[in-house]
Amino acid sequence: MIRLENVTKTYDDNKTHALDHVNINIKKGEFVFIVGDSGAGKSTLFKLLIKELQPTSGDIYVNGKCITRLRRRKIPMLRRDIGVVFQDFRLLKDRNVYENIAFAQRAISAPPSQIKKNVAEVLTLAGISEKYRSFPDQLSGGEQQRVALARALVNKPKILLADEPTGNLDPGNSQIIMDILEEVNRRGTTVVVVTHNHEIVRQMNKRVINLKNGIVVNDIREGGLASER
């Protein structure tokens, strides 16, 4: 589903490699954590996957297709296959929960008849159906992140990328988010989560890729942590 071959990324104004000859292969339906210190290159990796950035060298495959030399015109289609959530939610403050989620459907010109149904579906999945008329600033951090998740999922992406989705949340809310991610994965979506929360990583017992200074220092298979103990 996601494959990186010898991917190196160097920022123009930066001599060091944000990513240094990285090889990663994530299969369809996997749930993967990416961990590493600040500056390890985790967000850079995500930006390469949605083609917000271009790798300095190496090749990236998403959903079986090489995206390294993807034409600009084709980028939207790539992004429809990938849902993204961030630590800071990035909801639109001037519209309510329903409109925030429907916005993602309108942006890809989904037929109006389907928008209602799809939005209702993800609202239920994220457990925020009762709050559909609330505005973002009327919601708790955990609820806002659930809305962001619902928005990332409403276009039915094959891959979900979450960059520190629980970074701003307390353990209770973090757990709720993780439960939703697990359910999303169970329904067939490939899920990749960047996190600093070691407690969650240990608890979830999934594959963990560890980055350090742009290098993959270890890649522990599902159940690996449990067996290590």
Partner 1 sequence: MKGNSFFYCLGQGFVGIKRNKVFFLASVATIAACVFMVGLLMAVILNVNYVIKEAQDSVCITVFFEPETSEADIQDLGKRITDWEEVSHVEYTSPEDAWEKFKQEYFKNEPELADGFANDNPLATSASYTVYLTDITYQQKVAERLEAMTGIRQVNKSEVTASALSDFGKIAGIASLAIIIVLLAVSIFLISNTITTGITVRAEEIRVMKYVGATDFFVKSPFVFEGIIIGLIGAILPLIVLFFVYRSAINYVVEQLHTFSSAFSLLPMKDVFYLLVPVALILGAGIGFIGSMIATNKYIKV
| Residue 109 found at the interface with partner 1 (CB under 8 A) | yes
Q: Of 141, 202, 205, which is closest to residue 167 (Cα–Cα)?
A: 141
- x/- contact string, 16-55, with ligand ATP (CB under 6 A)? --x-----------------x-xxxxxxx-----------
* 117 touching partner 1, by CB under 8 A: no
* Of residues 90 and 187, the one with the C-beta less far from ligand ATP: 90
Contact 210, 202 (CB under 8 A): no
Burial of 53 (0-12, 13-18, 19+ CB in 10 A): middle
CB proximity list for 129: less than 8 A, separation 6 or greater:
120, 123
Q: Give 26 or 194: the residue with its C-beta nearer to Mg ion.
A: 194
Q: How far apart are CA 31 and CA 38, in angstroms?
A: 22
For ligand ATP, give the closer residue by CB, 139 or 192. 192
Stretch that binds partner 1, among 82-90, 181-189, 194-202, 206-214 (CB under 8 A): 82-90
CA distance 144 to 177: 11
Contact status: 155 vs partner 1 (CB under 8 A): yes
Per the DSSP assignment, residues forming a β-bridge with 62 are 2, 65
The amino acid that residue 98 corresponds to is Y
Q: Which of 111, 172, 226, 229 binds partner 1 (CB under 8 A)?
A: 111
Residue 65 within binding range of partner 1, rule CB under 8 A: no
Tell whether residue 126 is a contact of partner 1 (CB under 8 A): no
**DSSP class per residue in 21-49:** EEEEEE-TT-EEEEEE-TTSSHHHHHHHH
Asked whether position 47 contacts partner 1 by CB under 8 A, the answer is: no
**From candidates 1, 19, 24, 43, binder to Mg ion by CB under 5 A:** 43
Q: Which stretch binds partner 1 (CB under 8 A): 14-22, 53-61, 98-106, 211-219?
A: 98-106
For binding to Mg ion (CB under 5 A), which residues are involved? 43
